[in-house]
């Protein structure tokens, strides 16, 4: 079993995404902290807008809570929008959010290594912040390519290996996890550095774009709320968020606490 929780299938399918609460809390904490960097869902929709024909079939692979799915529905107005995820809880959330926005989409519960979709069915596919859950991301990209029509566009999105690395040092300094700085990056299997190489195995890569995002946690409670949502650390302190916040206040310099991440986008087509 990998020491990286993002590559532990038991943890990924049995705990991290069994419900939508952890991901919602993580997203909320990061959005509150973000001070610089584009909206990822907007960027994905913009990258596809000029390339997707009218009446398109669009796949959102690893759709999560449906934030990108909603943006694709609104911006691209596809004839068919298919949201794919291995978590039924996240698909339920995506379905509900689409319904509240009066948008239409089909939900497919599936592992992205074996998509239950025909060959050459889609004009475009998105896989954002999900392929780093695969120990063999090239296999998942090949499956996405299989589902694209010739000339169809894929947008693959991931993060850099050193994303949020500043938090490793804060968690270590606070004594919350003495091994924090030695733990593997959550993004080690599919990251900014190998994105082009992996995508190019099955697709023709047109461009890879990188953007730095910066985050500013204003106080210890805000940072503690985020830390409880990341599976990277082994924090055994009892008392939950309040206890973590107290420890941060006692052992770290005064806030704010800052960190950054590089978000990378590969734009590629099926030959």
Domains located in the chain, CATH noted: 5-161+184-214+261-269 (3.40.50.150)
Question: According to the model, what pLDDT value does residue 15 have?
Answer: 79
The token pair at 241 is 């968020």
Residue 194 near residue 156 (C-beta atoms within 8 A): no
The token pair at 221 is 């409670």
Q: Which residues contact 49 (CB under 8 A, 6 or more apart)?
A: 75, 76
Question: According to the model, what pLDDT value does residue 3 have?
Answer: 87
Phi, psi at 196, each rounded to 5°? -60, -45
Q: What is the pLDDT of residues 97-106, one digit of tens each?
A: 999 999 999 9
Closest to 103 measured CA to CA, from 77, 130, 65: 77
Angle formed at CA 133 by CA 259 and CA 77, multiple of 5 degrees = 85
Residue 220 near residue 248 (C-beta atoms within 8 A): yes
In tens digits, what is the pLDDT along the chain, a chain of 271 residues? 468 999 998 888 777 898 889 999 999 999 999 999 999 999 999 999 989 988 899 999 999 999 999 999 999 999 999 999 999 999 999 999 999 999 999 999 999 999 999 999 999 999 999 999 999 999 999 999 999 999 999 999 999 999 999 999 999 999 999 999 999 999 999 999 999 999 999 999 999 999 999 999 999 999 999 999 999 999 999 999 999 999 999 999 999 999 999 999 999 999 9
Q: Point out which residues pair with 200 in neighbouring strands.
A: none
Q: Which residues contact 93 (CB under 8 A, 6 or more apart)?
A: 20, 65, 66
Question: According to the model, what pLDDT value does residue 140 have?
Answer: 98
Alpha-carbon Rg for the chain, nearest whole angstrom, is 19
Question: According to the model, what pLDDT value does residue 2 have?
Answer: 65
Residue 181 near residue 213 (C-beta atoms within 8 A): no
Q: How far apart are CA 111 and CA 235, in angstroms?
A: 30
């Amino acid at each position: 079993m990998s020491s990286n929780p993002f590559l532990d299938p038991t943890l990924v399918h049995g705990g991290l995404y069994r419900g939508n609460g952890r991901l919602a809390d993580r997203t909320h904490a990061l959005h509150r902290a973000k001070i610089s960097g584009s909206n990822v869902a907007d960027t994905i929709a913009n990258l596809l807008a000029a390339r997707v024909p009218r009446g398109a079939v669009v796949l959102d692979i690893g759709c999560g809570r449906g934030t990108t799915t909603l943006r694709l529905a609104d911006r691209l107005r596809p004839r068919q929008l298919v949201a794919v995820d291995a978590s039924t809880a996240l698909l339920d959330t995506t379905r509900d959010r689409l319904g509240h926005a009066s948008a239409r989409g089909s939900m497919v519960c599936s592992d992205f290594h074996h998509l239950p979709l025909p060959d050459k069915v889609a004009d475009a596919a998105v896989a954002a912040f999900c392929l780093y859950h695969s120990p063999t991301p090239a296999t998942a990209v090949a499956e996405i390519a299989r589902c694209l029509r010739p000339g169809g566009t894929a947008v693959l999105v991931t993060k850099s290996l050193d994303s949020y690395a500043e938090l490793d040092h804060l968690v270590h300094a606070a004594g919350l996890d003495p091994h924090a700085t030695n733990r593997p990056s959550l993004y080690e299997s599919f990251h900014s550095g190998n994105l082009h190489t992996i995508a190019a195995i099955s697709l023709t890569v047109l461009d890879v774009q990188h953007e730095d995002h910066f985050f500013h946690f204003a106080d210890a409670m805000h940072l503690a709320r985020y830390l409880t949502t990341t599976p990277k650390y082994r924090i055994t302190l009892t008392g939950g968020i309040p206890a973590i916040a107290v420890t941060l206040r006692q052992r770290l310099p005064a806030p704010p606490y800052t960190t950054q991440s590089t978000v990378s986008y590969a734009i590629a087509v099926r030959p």
